[in-house]
């Protein structure tokens, strides 16, 4: 009985060792390593998806999402009057923007069935002119974001945003 138990134990170790070691030895993407301090913020399993290789279909969905995001970041006008059909991306609208420069970098994405996610890194700089004539500049640089996406009536929309603090 002990011999059988020992053989089973050794078999499990032989089978699982490469998998466990692989989690620590995998050659991660540059993004995975660069943003590693935020791994616990995003959650280990979610963060691990940064290394996922996306399909052409995933990339096509993500590019459409990024196109919408660029329009949101560059929106000029009052946030209250902006298009809310953009879902959770509406959080990026700002008031009184007269000019904006945005860089959206697609890291990876997955779109399966009616749900998925997009990892993106964005940088944005905006110039504001307020009603009283005062001016202000604002910006954020190299922000890693996880956007949860869902497809409803054939349209993919960002439904939740998780962004490093």
Q: What is the pLDDT of residues 132-159, one digit of tens each?
A: 888 889 999 999 999 999 999 999 999 9
What was the pLDDT predicted at 3?
A: 67
What was the pLDDT predicted at 142?
A: 96
Q: What is the pLDDT of residues 44-53, one digit of tens each?
A: 999 999 999 9
What was the pLDDT predicted at 134?
A: 87
- Phi, psi of 97, deg, nearest 5: -80, 130
State whether residue 29 is helix, strand or coil.
Answer: coil
pLDDT < 70 stretches in the chain: 1-3, 5-26
Chain-centre distance for alpha carbon 134: 34
What was the pLDDT predicted at 29?
A: 84
Q: Looking at domain 53-163, which of 3.40.50, 2.60.40, 3.10.450, 1.10.3470 is its CATH number?
A: 3.10.450
Distance CA 161, CA 79 (A): 18
What was the pLDDT predicted at 128?
A: 87
Domain coordinates in residue numbering, the chain = 53-163
């Amino acid at each position: 009985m002990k011999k059988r138990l020992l053989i089973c134990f050794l078999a499990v170790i032989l089978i699982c060792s490469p998998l466990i070691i692989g989690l620590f030895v995998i050659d991660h993407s540059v993004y995975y390593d660069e943003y590693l301090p935020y791994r616990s913020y995003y959650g280990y399993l979610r963060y691990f998806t940064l290394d996922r290789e996306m399909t052409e279909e995933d990339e096509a969905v993500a590019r459409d999402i990024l196109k919408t995001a660029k329009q949101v970041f560059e929106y000029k006008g009052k946030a209250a009057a902006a298009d809310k059909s953009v879902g959770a991306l509406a959080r990026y609208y700002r008031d009184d923007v007269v000019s904006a420069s945005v860089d959206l970098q697609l890291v990876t994405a997955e779109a399966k069935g009616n749900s998925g996610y997009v990892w993106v890194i964005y940088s944005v700089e905006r110039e504001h002119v307020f009603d009283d004539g005062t001016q202000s500049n604002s910006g954020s640089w190299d922000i890693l974001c996880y956007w949860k996406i869902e497809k409803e009536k054939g349209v993919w929309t960002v439904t939740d945003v998780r962004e490093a603090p």
